[in-house]
C-alpha cells in the first residue's frame, strides 16, 4: 500500500501514475515538488531538452508566446530559455510544482489550472506554441486535455507533446480528425520497456473556436 505522506525513493513513476483521482494527483505532486528535481533529473531531464530543441527547429521567433502546459518544476522552461526564448507561461494543476517553477526565474506568467479548462482561451488568448512534456500519461492528461490545448494555438502555431507508444490509442481517440498536422516525431529511450515519443504538430488553419 502506498504511503502518501512521503515520496518513494524508487518506483516514483508507478507511484505518481497510480493516483486514483485528480485531488490525489495534486496532493502527490505538491508533496513531491521540493524533491522532484533531484529525484528525476538523471532519468528525465533529457526529455524536456529534446522537446524544447525540437520546437526550436521550427519556431524561429525567440519572442514567440509559448505555453508550457503541465510545466511542473520548470525543466522545459529552463531548456527554452537556454535556446533564447523569453515569453514563457507556465501552467500546472499543482501549486507546489508551480512554486518551484517560479523559483527558477524563467517564466513571465503562471497559471494554476487544469489543462482542460475551457476558459483558458478567453483568459489568456492564443499562443504561438504549446509544449506539454511528461503530461500525457496514465493518471494524468488525456484526449480532453489535448483537445483543449489545441484550441489555444494561434494560426500556424506549434504543439509539442511527449507520450509513451502504448498511450497513443488513448490519446488520439480519432486521429484522422485531429486538427493539426504532424510535422516531426522523434523517439528517445528512457525506460526499459519502451521509448518516449516527442511529436511536433502545426496548426495549418485557423479553426473556429
54-81 residue pLDDT tens = 999 999 999 999 999 999 899 999 999 9
Instruction: Using 70 as the pLDDT threshold, list the residues of the chain that sit under it.
Output: 1-27, 29-44, 138-140, 166-170, 172-176, 191-193, 206-209
Three-state DSSP class for 68?
strand
- For strands 195-202 and 181-189, give the pairing: antiparallel
- Which of the 8 DSSP states describes residue 21? S
> How much is the pTM?
0.84
Asked if 81 and 88 count as a contact pair (C-beta separation under 8 A), the reply is: yes
pLDDT at 128: 98
Domain ranges of the chain: 44-202
Is 44-202 assigned to CATH 3.40.50.150? yes
Q: What is the pLDDT of residues 79-92, one digit of tens each?
A: 999 999 999 999 99
Q: Which residues pair with 111 in a beta bridge?
A: 91
Pick from 119, 117, 40, 112: nearest CA to 76: 40
Amino acid at each position: 500500500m502506498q504511503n502518501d505522506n512521503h515520496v518513494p525513493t524508487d518506483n516514483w513513476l508507478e507511484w505518481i501514475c497510480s493516483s486514483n483521482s485528480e485531488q490525489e494527483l495534486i496532493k502527490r505532486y505538491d508533496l513531491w515538488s521540493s524533491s522532484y528535481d533531484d529525484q528525476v533529473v538523471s532519468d528525465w531531464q533529457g526529455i524536456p531538452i529534446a522537446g524544447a530543441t525540437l520546437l526550436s527547429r521550427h519556431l524561429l521567433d525567440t519572442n514567440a508566446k509559448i505555453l508550457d502546459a503541465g510545466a511542473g518544476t520548470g525543466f522545459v522552461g529552463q531548456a527554452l530559455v537556454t535556446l533564447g526564448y523569453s515569453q514563457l507561461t507556465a501552467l500546472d494543476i499543482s501549486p507546489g510544482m508551480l512554486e518551484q517553477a517560479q523559483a527558477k526565474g524563467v517564466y513571465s506568467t503562471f497559471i494554476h489550472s487544469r489543462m482542460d479548462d475551457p476558459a483558458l482561451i478567453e483568459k489568456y488568448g492564443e499562443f504561438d506554441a504549446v509544449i506539454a512534456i511528461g503530461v500525457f500519461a496514465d493518471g494524468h492528461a488525456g484526449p480532453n486535455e489535448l483537445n483543449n490545448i489545441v484550441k489555444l494555438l494561434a494560426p500556424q502555431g506549434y504543439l509539442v507533446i511527449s507520450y509513451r507508444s502504448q498511450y497513443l490509442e488513448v490519446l488520439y481517440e480519432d486521429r484522422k480528425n485531429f486538427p493539426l498536422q504532424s510535422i516531426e516525431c522523434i523517439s528517445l529511450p528512457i525506460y526499459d520497456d519502451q521509448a518516449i515519443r516527442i511529436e511536433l504538430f502545426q496548426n495549418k488553419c485557423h479553426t473556429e473556436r
